């Protein structure tokens, strides 16, 4: 039976949601939103320490000091073996997956002529190959759901060609292409595949290191003259995972306050 979620978005009850990069500024807000609406969430992150810290926050106030709908699993999405282990845990514990949100990513800044092959590969391995590995591994569980949703996190840098991030921009461009192909290949199973392209998002960690001049430049370039925050992304992600978006697939939803008018 469907139920009304935040701001009237229709969500099916008791969905199982997998979120990568779950301990980051954006990932943790995604987890918060789905937990708040009664969904079961598998929070995956490469850092066990960061997961433990967030697990303690999520568990605080829960009955018995343990959130009953949260599973936290340390996972390196660039490792085929680690992703396979995550799938095994999810399948044994929960059976199926309704929503997969590929949020994990790396975004170092290095001039193209100074970039090592190792750094290039590390970014591609996480941002693009990691997305490929996660979707491929979870397709059987998404099929079993009968209402599978895949939401990939891209980047508005694909539209602007941000300097010093050639590996990052290339990886996110690949995610856009992969999203479109998989929308066609998986549509026959009722699985939708879409991508969100955020602008520069001010997480607590980013706010501590980003120069104010850069933030001001971004604000001025937007139609909506303010910082972009993780909360700005969670609503669109929630929508794409909902029943309201059942006939939306292969799409790029740009969420950057009007920085790029596509």
pLDDT averaged over 10-residue windows placed end to end, the chain, 262 residues: 56 85 97 96 97 94 89 98 99 97 96 98 98 99 97 97 96 99 98 98 85 93 96 98 98 97 92
Is there a domain that residue 180 lies in? yes
CA 246 to chain centre: 18
Q: Is residue 187 part of a domain?
A: yes
Q: What is the CATH number of the domain that holds 166?
A: 3.40.50.720
pLDDT at 12: 62
* Distance from the Cα of residue 158 to its chain's centroid: 17
* Number of separate domains in the chain: 1
| Distance in angstroms (rounded) separating the CA atoms of residues 144 and 166 | 38
| Position 27 in a domain | yes
Question: Which residue of the set 34, 168, 238, 239 is catalytic?
Answer: 168
Q: What is the pLDDT of residue 41?
A: 98
Q: How far is residue 108's CA from residue 106's CA, in Å, rounded to a whole number?
A: 6
- pLDDT in the model for residue 205: 79
Phi-psi category of residue 258: left, alpha or beta, with phi > 0 → left and psi -120 to 50 → alpha? left
Active site residue 168: yes
Q: What pLDDT score was predicted for residue 5?
A: 56
- pLDDT confidence of residue 11: 56
Has residue 109 been placed in a domain? yes
Whether 222 maps to a domain, the answer reads yes
Please give the pLDDT value at position 106: 94
Q: State which residues form the domain around 104.
A: 9-255
pLDDT at residue number 61: 76
C-alpha separations of 146 from 85, 191, 197 in Å: 23, 7, 26
pLDDT at residue 142 in the model: 98
State the DSSP H helix or E strand holding residue 81, giving kind and residue range, or none if neither. Answer: helix 80-94
Asked if residue 97 belongs to a domain, the reply is yes
């Amino acid at each position: 039976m469907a139920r009304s979620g935040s701001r009237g978005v229709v969500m099916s009850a008791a969905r199982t949601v997998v979120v990568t990069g779950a301990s980051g500024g954006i990932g943790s807000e995604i987890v918060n939103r789905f937990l708040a609406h009664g969904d079961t969430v598998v929070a995956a992150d490469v850092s066990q320490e960061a997961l433990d810290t967030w697990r303690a926050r999520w568990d605080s106030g829960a009955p018995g000091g343990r959130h009953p709908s949260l599973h936290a699993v340390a996972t390196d999405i660039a490792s085929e073996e680690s992703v396979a282990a995550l799938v095994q845990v999810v399948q044994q514990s929960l059976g199926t997956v309704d929503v997969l949100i590929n949020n994990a990513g790396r975004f170092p800044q290095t001039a193209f002529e100074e970039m090592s092959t190792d750094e290039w590969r590390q970014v591609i391995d996480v941002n693009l190959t990691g997305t490929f590995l996660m979707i491929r591994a979870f397709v059987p569980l998404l099929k079993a759901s009968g209402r599978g949703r895949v939401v990939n996190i891209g980047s508005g840098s694909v539209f602007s060609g941000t300097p010093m991030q050639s590996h990052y921009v290339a990886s996110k461009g690949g995610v856009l292409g992969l999203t479109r192909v998989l929308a066609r290949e998986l549509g026959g199973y009722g699985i939708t595949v879409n991508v969100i392209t955020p602008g520069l998002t001010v997480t607590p960690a980013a706010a501590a290191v980003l120069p104010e001049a850069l933030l001001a430049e971004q604000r001025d370039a937007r139609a909506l003259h303010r910082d972009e925050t993780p909360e700005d992304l969670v609503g669109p992600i929630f929508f794409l995972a909902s029943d309201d978006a059942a006939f939306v697939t292969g799409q790029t939803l740009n969420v950057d306050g009007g920085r790029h008018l596509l």
